[in-house]
Structure 1
Amino acid sequence: MAKALPQPFDKQKVVAENRRARFDYFVEDRYEAGIQLAGTEVKSLRHGEGSIAESYATAEGDEIWLINSHIPEYSHGNRLNHEPRRPRKLLLKGREIAKLNGAVTRQGLTLVPLSIYFNGAGRAKVELALARGKKVHDKRDTMKERDWKREQQRLLKSRG
C-alpha cells in the first residue's frame, strides 16, 4: 500500500525558496517551524526580500538555529536595524527538536531550509527538511530525468 502524501503547509506568500536544496539532497521529512525575528526583519520579509540559498540549520542543545540566512536591512529602519546574516532561532516543539537532533546525530541527516513564507495567520514560517545528501551519480540521474520530462512535454505540445 502506498504511503499517504503529507499535508501541504498553508503558504500564503512565499518570500524565499531554496531551489538548489531539492537538487543537492533527498528530502526525507519536512517540518514547519516558526522563526524568531526582530521587527525590521519582518518588515523586510514582507517586502519580499530575503535569501536562504546558502543557509542551513543546526541543533545546539535544546534549540534549532537557522545559520547564514540573509534578510537585508529594512530601508526605513533606523539605528535599531538588524544584522543581515545573524543566526535566527527556529521555534519548534520539544519533541520535534529531540527527533531532529536524534536524526542528525545518529543517521547523519542534514537540516536544510526549503522556504520562508507567511502562513494564513500572517506569521513568518520556515519549511525545514530532514535531508540526505546526493552523490554525483544521483545528481546526474536527476538531470537526466528532468531533461526527459522537458522533452516529453515538448513532444506532447507539438502533437497536440
Structure 2
Amino acid sequence: MPKGAGKVIAQNKKAHHDYFIEETYEAGIVLQGTEIKSIRAGRVNLKDAFAKIQKGEVFLHNMHISPYEQGNRYNHDPLRTRKLLLHRKEINKLIGETKEKGYSLVPLKLYIKDGYAKVLIGLAKGKKKYDKREDLKKKAAQREIEKAFKERQRG
C-alpha cells in the first residue's frame, strides 16, 4: 500500500487467490453524498467488483456500498457504476495493458487517505486452477515450517 495511506476500510482477499497482481495503482472515486458516510462506517464489499475502461475513462463496477441508514431519500443505488480518478498517463498505460490477453483491473483495497476515499486497483492476470492449487500447497508447507520452528524454540 502506498505510504501515508490511512485506514483500510475493505480488502479483496480473493483477488490474490484468483489473480497474479502485476502492478497496482491508487485511484480516487467519484462518490455521491451518502456513499462516503457508508464507506466510513465500513459498509463496503469489494468481492465481485472489477474496473473497466470505457471511452478513455476508468469505471468501477459491482462494488457494493450499503445505503446509509440516516440517508432517507438521498440514498444511492448500492451497486451503481462509479468513476475512478487516475492520471491520463496511467489510464493510457492501462488501456495498452488491458488490451493484452488475460489482463483485467481488480480492486484490491479501499481506504481513506487524507479524508478522501481511495481504491488500490491491480493490473491482474487470471490464475489457472493448477496455479491456485500450487499456491495452497506453498501456504500449507510454509505453515508447517513455522509450526515446526515454534515447537523447536519451545523445546
Query: TM-score, normalization: structure 2?
Result: 0.95
Q: How does 1:16-95 map to 2 (within 5 A)?
A: 16-95=10-89
Report Cα offsets for 1:76-120 as digits up to 9, x if no partner.
Answer: 10201111000000000111111111111134311000011011x
Out of 135, 144, 156, the position equivalent to 2:137 is 144
- 1:4 corresponds to which residue? none
CA distance in 2, matches of 1:13, 1:124: 10
CA gap of 1:9–1:130, structure 2 versus 1, over 3 A, is farther
CA distance in 1, matches of 2:146, 2:43: 33
Q: 1:136 Cα shift?
A: 0.9
CA distance in 1, matches of 2:39, 2:108: 16
Q: Which amino acid aligns with 1:81?
A: N
User: What percentage of residue pairs aligned between the two structures are identical?
Assistant: 46
CA distance in 2, matches of 1:92, 1:124: 13
CA distance in 2, matches of 1:63, 1:15: 24
For structure 2, the 5+ residue unaligned runs are none
Partner-residue secondary structure (3-state), 1:44? helix
| Count of equivalent residues | 153
Out of 122, 125, 134, the position equivalent to 1:132 is 125
Partner-residue secondary structure (3-state), 1:86? coil
RMSD: 1.2
CA distance in 2, matches of 1:74, 1:32: 25
CA contact (8 A) 2:33 2:74 kept: no
For structure 1, the 5+ residue unaligned runs are 1-6
1:109 lines up with 2:103 in the alignment: yes
> If each structure's strand is expressed as a fraction of its own residues, which one has the higher value?
2
